[in-house]
Amino acid sequence: QLTMSSNSSTLLNEENSQGPKRNTECLESLELQTPSSFQDNPLQQLQLASQEVLEKAKKSGRSKCPRCSSSRMFYCYTCFVPVETVPTKEIPTVKLPLKIDIIKHPNETDGKSTAVHAKLLAPDDVTIYKYPCIPEYEEKRHEIALVFPGPNSVSVKDIASHLQKHTEKSVCDNDDDCSREPSVKQAKIESKEEEKNVNKHISSNNSEGTRLKKIIFIDSTWNQTNKIITDERLQGLLQIELKTRKTCFWRHQKGKPDTYLSTIEAIYYFLVDYHQEILKENYKGQYDNLLFFFSFMYTLIKNAKCCAGKE
């Protein structure tokens, strides 16, 4: 679930470095390919909004960011907005069931990060922070989780039960009587009263407190994560691991398991599992458009490699 990422502004330069003519030939050949040519594309079944706007932008080349005027392809990865050739109204918007914080390592290259995809496509629910400037999470740790693989991480389906334990601990931590030894005469009464209060608190929070309100993702390479994950502000948070998904990312880090996902993949797959395991609702593609840019770039790069004879 670590984060690496992508950006189309360097995409064609990296994958088609053999000159304008070769690049043009490659792109023209892609236009002739049909969906049946990509049956090995694991992203093919997504229910996506029309990507025609990206096709047009690809043909016209780089364009200006409406805010900083930098030359970019598709979107500006520093301002988190589409470029002039990609009208905002033609970009899908995804509504998420909880808030997402993305903590980006300061050395993670902006142009290679897929974290910006989440901000572009779910602007009301996603916030990106550049480490070490991150929020304090301690008071809300019973309703926040961190997606990160580790010895104490749990699966998505186990979130509710583990958050309940955090809720119980939070109640006790905030109750001075929890740490005080009761007298013999009052022990039974206080025990019942305490149990009643805890149960009342947990019951009132079953629909809210034990249902996640915020999820945190770390946007960095594996080698950069240690400094962030050991930050005291992230200690005590429930950790979630996505163990069954495999990455499609074209910049996957060598030597790492294929279950280590790019940031946008981790966000997408987490939400799909959360929708089914926690919200107990049938998934009907509600979050597929989070991969709107990712899937387009995947196909673009895959076919550029094919054209170049790399596959």
Question: Of residues 212 and 273, which shows the higher confidence score?
Answer: 273
pTM of the entire structure? 0.74
pLDDT at 169: 59
d(CA 20, CA 147): 41
Q: How confident is the model at residue 205 (pLDDT cuts 50, 70, 90)?
A: very low
pLDDT at 173: 56
Q: What is the pLDDT of the chain when averaged over all its residues?
A: 77
pLDDT at 168: 61
Provide the β-strand partners of residue 129: 103
pLDDT at 45: 87
Least confident of 26-40, 47-61, 202-216: 26-40
pLDDT tops 50 at residue 101: yes
Which tens digit of pLDDT belongs to each residue from 215-274?
999 998 877 888 899 999 999 999 999 877 777 766 655 666 566 788 999 999 999 999
Q: How confident is the model at residue 116 (pLDDT cuts 50, 70, 90)?
A: very high
Q: How confident is the model at residue 161 (pLDDT cuts 50, 70, 90)?
A: confident
Q: How far is CA 268 from CA 93, 119, 259, 291, in A?
A: 14, 13, 14, 7
d(CA 154, CA 278): 14
pLDDT at 224: 82
Which tens digit of pLDDT belongs to each residue from 267-308?
999 999 999 999 999 999 999 999 999 999 988 888 877 777
CB count in 10 Å sphere of residue 63 = 19
Q: How confident is the model at residue 7 (pLDDT cuts 50, 70, 90)?
A: very low
Least confident of 121-125, 136-140, 231-235: 136-140
Residues 6+ apart with CB under 8 A from 103: 129, 131, 134, 216, 217, 218, 219, 228
Give the mean model confidence (pLDDT) for residues 180-203: 45
Question: Of residues 95 and 209, which shows the higher confidence score?
Answer: 95
H helices, E strands: number in the chain:
9, 9
Could you give the 3-state DSSP secondary structure of residue 47? coil
CB count in 10 Å sphere of residue 147 = 24
d(CA 191, CA 278): 32
Give the mean model confidence (pLDDT) for residues 162-176: 61
pLDDT at 264: 95
Which tens digit of pLDDT belongs to each residue from 58-91?
999 999 999 999 999 999 999 999 999 999 999 9
Rg of the chain over CA atoms, in angstroms? 23
Q: How confident is the model at residue 309 (pLDDT cuts 50, 70, 90)?
A: low
Could you give the percent of the chain with pLDDT greater than 70?
A: 67
